[in-house]
Amino acid sequence: MGKEKKIGVLPGDGIGPEVTTEAVKALDAIAEKYGHIFHYTYADVGAVAIDKTGDPLPDETLRVCQASDVFLFGAIGHPKYDNDPKAKVRPEQGLLKLRKALGLYANIRPVSAYEGLLHMSPLKEEQIKGVDIVVYRELTGGIYFGEKGRTADGAYDHCAYSNKEIDRIGKLAFEAAQHRKKNLTLVDKANVLETSRLWRERVQEMSKTFPDVKVEMMFVDNAAMQMIQNPKQFDVILTENMFGDILSDEASVIGGSMGLLPSASIGAHSAMFEPIHGSFPQAAGQNIANPMATILSAAMMLDHLEMIDEALDIRHAVKVAIHNGMVTSDLSKGRSFGTDRVGDFIANQILEGEQGQTFDNIHLGSSTII
């Protein structure tokens, strides 16, 4: 039975509009195949929103997100703000406000190494083959949202966590581990930080209710090293906001390209899906950005909507694209394709399967269905 869903779409800045267009193509293909109806509502966020309204997150955009079942987010950021530490209004504020206003406390970032792309990673193939990690990053607390300010001769950023903030994401991470390899690594800096010691206490306490999950505690400096030396040891990583920000970027090199990594930001009433990569302004408008991270974010969105087969279809189509070399230049040392061609291929693959999309006719641009 087909379902009807309201999907917000916030393309944002830089390559955001191009990659979200391709993700919507994939969603449209899913809707057609399964008889679902997806209603899209578009809204501005980031530098484009500042240009139009002076606000990186206009009220109207927040309303669109609140009124949607789920929403897709492209990217935000513009170079004109990056080199100006004094800028009062910044695109990133739009994203941070969105996370806070909608209570998107759990940021879920899966990282795996795709067969066929192992050679793209700067790490050795034998080290990354089979890597399958998911980072659960706390997203609405810690140093990002603590009191910050200037003093007469300095500045400060306050880091605080409550039991509740730790417990609610901890629960999601433990549950994820139960469905995976049953390993959970808490990453912290408990040898120095009081908040980290609280994280350890709460996680130790919580582990009593998840006896089947093996828990390990690791300091963040060591974890940063282990992530490169032996990433296969990790299954679920649970960590606070800033450590998660840094570690998930580090983990992204395992897959060979940031252009492949999706993410979900989940709250009690809203859920947002976005690629991990930024707005990549140098590539904007050139049809060279890799749309796969956003397309895979759409797959996470479908999982969240309990459309499991649909999500699998998207992931499979992306694998077929990679297998056939139907990829953008970040994933190919030889022939590569434009953002839109890769998106078309994936949408067609969802709808038509392997039929008609053989390696030869794709590369000649003469496929019967492209």
Residues of this chain that interact with Mg ion (CB under 5 A) are 245
Of these partners, ligand IPM, Mg ion, none, which one is at the site of residue 370 (CB under 5 to 8 Å by kind)? none
13 is catalytic: no
Select from Mg ion, ligand IPM, none the partner in contact with residue 13, using the beta carbon and a kind-dependent cut-off of 5 to 8 Å: none
Distance CA 308, CA 318 (A): 16
Q: Which stretch binds ligand IPM (CB under 6 A): 5-13, 31-39, 91-99, 168-176?
A: 91-99
Catalytic residue among 44, 188, 235, 245: 245
Please choose, from the candidates 129, 94, 34, the residue with its C-alpha nearest in 3D space to the C-alpha of residue 274. 94
Q: Least separation, in Å, of the C-beta of 125 and ligand IPM? A: 27
95 binds ligand IPM (CB under 6 A): yes
Q: Closest Cα to residue 38, out of 26, 54, 51?
A: 26
Q: Is 42 among the catalytic positions?
A: no
Least distance between Mg ion and beta carbon 160 (Å): 21
The CB density around residue 179, as the number of other CB atoms within 10 Å, is 8
Task: Report yes or no: 26 and 314 within 8 Å, Cβ to Cβ.
Answer: yes
Q: Which is nearer to Mg ion, 245 or 274 (CB)?
A: 245
Give dist(CA 30, CA 38) in Å, integer: 10
Measure the CA angle with vertex 94, ends 97 and 239; round to 5°: 55
Rounded to whole angstroms, the Cα distance separating 67 from 61 reads 10
The answer to whether residue 92 forms part of the interface with ligand IPM (CB under 6 A) is yes
Distances 97 to 103, 259, 369 between C-alpha atoms, Å:
10, 25, 42
For residues 220-259, which are near ligand IPM according to CB under 6 A? 245
**Closest separation between CB of residue 95 and Mg ion, Å?**
10
In eight-state DSSP terms, residue 1 is -
Using CB atoms, what's the residue nearest to ligand IPM? 92
From the list ligand IPM, Mg ion, none, pick the one residue 317 interacts with, judged by a Cβ distance below 5 to 8 Å according to partner type: none
Contacted entry of Mg ion, ligand IPM, none for residue 69, CB cut-off 5 to 8 Å set by kind: none
Question: What distance in Å separates the CA atoms of residue 8 and residue 48, rounded to the nearest whole number?
Answer: 17
Looking at the Cβ atoms of 96 and 351, the one nearer to ligand IPM is 96
Q: Which of 105, 114, 136, 144 is catalytic?
A: 144
Give the chain's count of helices (H) and strands (E): 14, 12
The verdict on whether 105 is a catalytic residue reads no
| Residue 318 binding partner per list ligand IPM, Mg ion, none, with a CB distance cut-off of 5 to 8 Å that depends on partner kind | none
Nearest distance, CB of residue 46 and ligand IPM, angstroms:
9
59 as an active site residue: the answer is no
For residue 85, give every residue at least 6 positions away whose Cβ sits within 8 Å of its Cβ, in sequence order, or none: none
- Active-site annotation holder among 6, 171, 189, 214: 189
Active-site pick, 28, 249, 303, 340: 249
Q: Is 245 a catalytic residue?
A: yes
CA–CA separation, 216 vs 184, rounded Å? 6
Q: CA 85 to CA 172: how far, in whole Å?
A: 36
Residues near ligand IPM (CB under 6 A): 92, 95-96, 245
Q: Which residues are catalytic?
A: 144, 189, 221, 245, 249
